[in-house]
Chains A and B, each alone.
Chain A
Amino acid sequence: MIRYLAKQVKADYRALTLDLAGSGGALADLASLTMTVRDEDGRAVRTASAIAYGVGTTANSWIYLSSLLGIFPDYDGSRDLLSVVLTPTGALTWDEVGVGARIMRFKGDSTQFNDSQFLRNTTGTDRLVGAGITGGAAYTYVNSGTFDARAVSAIFTVGSTGSGWSDTPPTQGEQISAAKAMSRRSGAIVATQTEAALLDLGTDDALAVGLSSFVGNKTSAVTQGATGVTFDLGSSQMEVRYIHLFHSRGE
């Protein structure tokens, strides 16, 4: 009997996890750190690098991945969807108003971006979820009450930014999807209004994650240890070991 097997093709959808555990210690601004890329079973498949960004007195405490191609070799932001989920190791320290988590995808020259914001209200204790995009008519914000963020998520396309979060602590390392995180609590989405305003992204896009201040500069630190990366900005703090990335190819 002759059996014909269908030709295997690469899936249009794939998921990987960045394991931020390492030995970088307290990182200087623009210093590199190494992270482990894990598959859906938690197996280490390769390493990737990022830089600490904003260390000093700035509005950001970030790690910055200058090449998404280093994570997904066939990534092309001009057509692809990218979802990002941070699962903080524990409760964030929300001690400062106007400060909180942020996830951004940038065009290589930083002139365009998707922007997902999660911050403590500047005039109270409530948290806000925000979404914006270059060329969009407006930013969108949703009031989230006082909220223990345990999964912080973003969905980026060339025409939209979706932001959301959950207060359900996922099993650390489990590849919780952005959709799952957003189904639990507030979400915000914004879209550009015209085709001409779609983002001009490509293969040299970058990704930044960490804490941001919307009320001016703070003392910022990025520290890598065996339990992940700790972001400090003013008196706000977030520790993250796992960042889940979901890449869907468009056309």
Chain B
Amino acid sequence: MYTIRDPAGLEVATVQIEPVNSATVAGAVLTALAAGDGATLEVSSTGSVWHVRQGSDLYTVEPV
């Protein structure tokens, strides 16, 4: 399970991501944010923590 946190560190959702790669993380975050058609994300990682930038907002995806 992974927790998606918003730029303030607040939990947005806890979701199952399996396996974990940039595509599955992007999909999980787009769904959690209810992002619409055309929403763009940049996905990178540091160790087991994923960083997802949407515009100027940086979300983190961390293993629980």
Contact = CB atoms under 8 A, between A and B. Distances in A.
B23 interface: yes
A186 B30 contact: no
A64 B39 CA distance: 32
B37 A139 contact: no
Give chain B's interface secondary structure class. mixed
A214 B30 contact: no
B37 A122 contact: no
Interface residues of A, number: 26
A70 interface: no
A142 B44 contact: no
Nearest to B44: A138
B28 A143 contact: no
Contacts of B37: 126, 143-145, 186
Interface string A104-137: 0000000000000101011110101010100001
Contacts of A122: 17, 23-24, 27-28
Given A132-B22, A137-B44, A216-B19, A142 B38 contact: yes
Nearest to A123: B31
Contact of B23 (A119, A144, A145, A190): A119
Chain A CB within 10 A, most for which of B27, B40, B44, B53:
B27
Interface string A36-72: 0000000000000000000000000000000000000
A123 B22 contact: no
A140 interface: yes
B43 interface: yes
A188 interface: yes
Contacts of B61: none
Contacts of B38: 142-144, 186
A215 interface: yes
Contacts of A141: 22-23, 26-27, 30, 40-43
